[in-house]
Amino acid sequence: MDEHARLLWEEQAQKVIKNLRQRHMDGVYCRDRREALDLIIRECKPYSPISWGGSITLDEIGIREALRSGGYDLIDQGAPGLSREQQLELRRKSLHSDLYITSTNAITIDGELVNIDGFGNRVAAMIYGPNRVFVVAGMNKLVYSVDEAVSRIKNFSAPANAVRLDRKTPCRETTVCEDCRSDVRMCCHLVVTSYQSTKDRVKVFLVGESLGY
């Protein structure tokens, strides 16, 4: 990546982190995915059990793979050979994990996390349940308002996920949100995380790379 753009991202990240702290959330900037992986894995050590939400970002960084091979106590709904019922049960159990790791669909320069979920398990864990929540986000997720975040998610993240999952949503066909009432709708819950009652329960790892959708 161009060094000037990287420098700008780093400066923007420091603004976001300052604003996160005013909202009782912690934040840290990692220059690239390697630095992020090292730091996150180190910071996972005290927690048991650990769980996570579905996320391309986590896979691109290699977090799930590192935790699976690192001897951690995990609630792993993605483990091979699980039935649909077992996956759903683990998804419920993950709401009681000590640490939950997820990405965010968008983060505003003011330090608000914006997410749209289908089942809602990921946003539920971000709101309440796990003692700690680590949120990992590439700087491509930075936006300047909640409205921009929602537009980004509905007109980019959701259609991209529909392509990935081969979902026959209207946005898969037209590439933009049609505010559908389709049986395969992916946008069921819109959550804006603006503040934490429990200070520093949420920690955001901003990464100076383009990650996920």
> Which residues make Cβ contacts (< 8 Å) with residue 28, sequence separation at least 6?
17, 39, 203, 204, 205, 206
Straight-line distance from the first to the last Cα atom of the chain, in angstroms, rounded to the nearest whole number = 18
40-69 residues in contact with ligand SF4 (CB under 6 A) are none
183-202 residues in contact with ligand SF4 (CB under 6 A) are 185-187
Number of residues that bind ligand SF4 (CB under 6 A): 13
Backbone angles phi, psi at 114, to 5 degrees: -120, 125
Please report how close the Cβ of residue 176 comes to ligand SF4 at its closest, in angstroms.
8
| Three-state secondary-structure class, residue 11 | helix
Counts of helices then strands in the chain (DSSP H, E): 9, 9
Q: Based on CB atoms, which residue is closest to ligand SF4, 5 or 165?
A: 165
Query: CA-based Rg of the chain, rounded to a whole angstrom?
Result: 17
111-170 residues in contact with ligand SF4 (CB under 6 A) are 154, 158, 169-170
Please report how close the Cβ of residue 185 comes to ligand SF4 at its closest, in angstroms.
5
Please report how close the Cβ of residue 135 comes to ligand SF4 at its closest, in angstroms.
22
Contacts to ligand SF4 by CB under 6 A: 154, 158, 169-171, 177-180, 182, 185-187
